[in-house]
Structure 1
Amino acid sequence: MFDAPGKLAELIGSRICHDLISPIGAISNGLELLELTGASNGPEMDLIADSTSNASARLRFFRIAFGPADHQKIGRNEIVSVLDDITKGTRLAVHYVPIEPQPRSFVRLAFLAMQCCETAMPLGGSVRIEAENGHWSISGTAEKMNLDPTLWGHLKGGQAAVTAAQVQFALLPLHATDMNRALSVETRENGVSLHF
């Protein structure tokens, strides 16, 4: 029996990602085989390849951001690979600083915080993820920031309805509280920083 609906939702999210990653991987493998035969020329095949790569990257990211998390550690190479793939072809640049493997639960918080930053940068920008002595800092900077006070107030304990595209604003404080981490937010004209 599950003691919280949120835990069940995490498992459902993880299951969806797990079940979709295999067929997307199969499509990617099929495209590679077509390329070997020389049958993969043309913009149509490029579109399929790009879309498949993008879908795979998103599923890998979502599995960490929205799936269940424990203290199992994730290595830097895997984290950087996910972040590089999810931002490829976008106007968002993410710089992940930690060198050592990090607990999945903290990486989940960082990914959710990164999504919050991304929401505030409609024209793109950069996000820097740092961790030192157990303290994490995620900072977003952009020439133009759009900090919706209702959404960002949610991170400071406010209660507001969120859409599916804004769910990170609801999940981040919930997961931080579950981990006994104090979440703080600092905003400025060209940036925002989240700490936990």
Structure 2
Amino acid sequence: MCPPDLSALIGSRICHDIISPLGAIGNGVELLALSNAAPTEEMALIHQSVANANAKVQLFRIAFGTANAGQTVGATEMAGVLTAYFTDGRTRSDYLVTDTVPRPEAKAALLAALCLHSALPSGGRIELRRTGVRWALAAQGMVHVDAGLWAALDHGQPMPDLSAATVHFALLPQALAALDRRAKFSRGDDRLLLEF
């Protein structure tokens, strides 16, 4: 029997426990809005903050949570999660997959999207495609690549020191190993392609 993936279980638990209170706050804000009170900047800020937190939790639930082989994620859910996550206005995502995908593949695709997002500090566009079982994710914009992190993904070199902001670089190879795949990337002046 394989040992449990503790980091994925922790991620699932955190997302599960946070999503209910966030939903309650969002419902409370909507009820206040229906009470005919004049809209205020404070209420708009609370509403936007809850929406942003919900978007992050939804993406993290798939990317950092457990991914059992029998589970799937629909195209509408994946596209919605990505669109909601990238609401900062600087980065846009285009999810060009129409099929339902196995949850382990969805996990890897979202982790890969987070890696690409890290390479777009000024924003840009991230495109996700799937042909058969092969994924191709492209980032377009002013690309900035941390050579150590990307070499660890592409060439299997030791992972450099990580921070909370770059943990997805360590999780992506694990997710791909579960699929018996490896990441491969190529870079142009304003484009970065990650395939698995």
TM-score of the superposed pair, with normalisation by structure 2: 0.94
Identity %, equivalent residues: 38
Over 3 Å counting, the alpha-carbon distance change for 1:40 and 1:185 in structure 2 is farther
4+ runs of 1 displaced by more than 4 Å?
none
Deviations 1:138-194 (A, max 9, x none): 11010x211110111120212111111001111111211122013211111111111
Q: Give the distance between the partners of 1:14 and 1:49, measured in 2 at CA.
A: 24
Contact 1:2 1:8 (C-alpha < 8 Å) held by counterparts:
no
Q: Give the distance between the partners of 2:132 and 2:153, measured in 1 at CA.
A: 23
Q: Which residue of 2 aligns with 1:110?
A: 109
Gaps of 5+ in 1: none
Q: Which residue of 2 aligns with 1:139?
A: 138
Q: Which residue of 1 aligns with 2:89?
A: 90
Q: Which residue of 2 aligns with 1:175?
A: 175
Q: Which residue of 1 aligns with 2:44?
A: 46
Which one of 142, 150, 157 corresponds to residue 152 of structure 1? 150
- Mapping for residues 11-50 of structure 1, pairs under 5 Å: 11-39=9-37, 41-50=39-48
SS of match in other structure, 2:129: strand
Deviations 1:108-141 (A, max 9, x none): 1110111111111111000110001111001101
Q: Give the distance between the partners of 1:108 and 1:40, measured in 2 at CA.
A: 42
SS of match in other structure, 1:155: helix
Deviations 1:73-104 (A, max 9, x none): 11111111111111123311100011111111
Quick check: 11-20 or 75-84, which moved more?
75-84
Q: CA deviation at 1:67?
A: 0.4
Q: Give the distance between the partners of 1:15 and 1:111, measured in 2 at CA.
A: 18
Q: CA deviation at 1:40?
A: 5.5
Amino acid at match of 1:117: L
Quick check: 155-164 or 48-57, which moved more?
155-164
Q: Which residue of 2 aligns with 1:74?
A: 73
Over 3 Å counting, the alpha-carbon distance change for 1:169 and 1:40 in structure 2 is farther
Report the count of equivalent residues.
193
